[in-house]
Amino acid sequence: MPPTILILCTGNSCRSHMAEGILRAAAGDLLDVQSAGSNPAGYVHPLAIKALAEIGIDISAHRSKHMNEFLLQDVETVITVCGNADQACPMFPGQMNRHHWGFDDPAHAIGSEEEQMAVFRRVRDEIRRVFEAYAAGRRDA
């Protein structure tokens, strides 16, 4: 079984799903990548789905989950991508590592859909740089 990496955010609607999709694509079967939220929004933001589709990653089947769904699973590494989730994060069984890499919340973008998409693309690209580098480091380890 590959180690489980849990990516947490407050709402589990944008950043954590983008990070999950990107890390899953970059790591392949090396890691079991999941995401959840401390206060899940109940949906995956359509612009997050669109932003990842632009780079060939399909997260349209993802669902918004509460972090408590993972409390009884072995989670090797927890990565928080927003400050609120970092503060609310419990310890998980088997957890050996914890990282906090904060990103702006694109769900708060205002303006036309194209202006909002520009924010989603920027955050997606920032997440992509960090999580692809993380995947490369895990492969090299």
pTM: 0.94
- Supply the residues annotated as catalytic: 9, 82, 89
Give me the mean pLDDT over the 62-90 stretch: 86
Closest by CA position to 105, among listed 88, 119, 85: 119
* Contact between 124 and 52 (Cβ < 8 Å): yes
Structural domains in the chain?
A: 4-134 (3.40.50.2300)
Query: What pLDDT is stored for residue 84 in this prediction?
Result: 72
Give me the mean pLDDT over the 26-32 stretch: 97
Query: What pLDDT is stored for residue 92 in this prediction?
Result: 79
- Per-residue pLDDT tens for 30-59? 999 999 999 999 999 999 999 999 999 999
Give SS3 for 11.
Answer: coil
Label residues 59-97 b or e (16+ Cβ within 10 Å = b): beebebbebeebeeeebbbbbbbbebbbeebeebeebee
Give me the mean pLDDT over the 111-127 stretch: 98
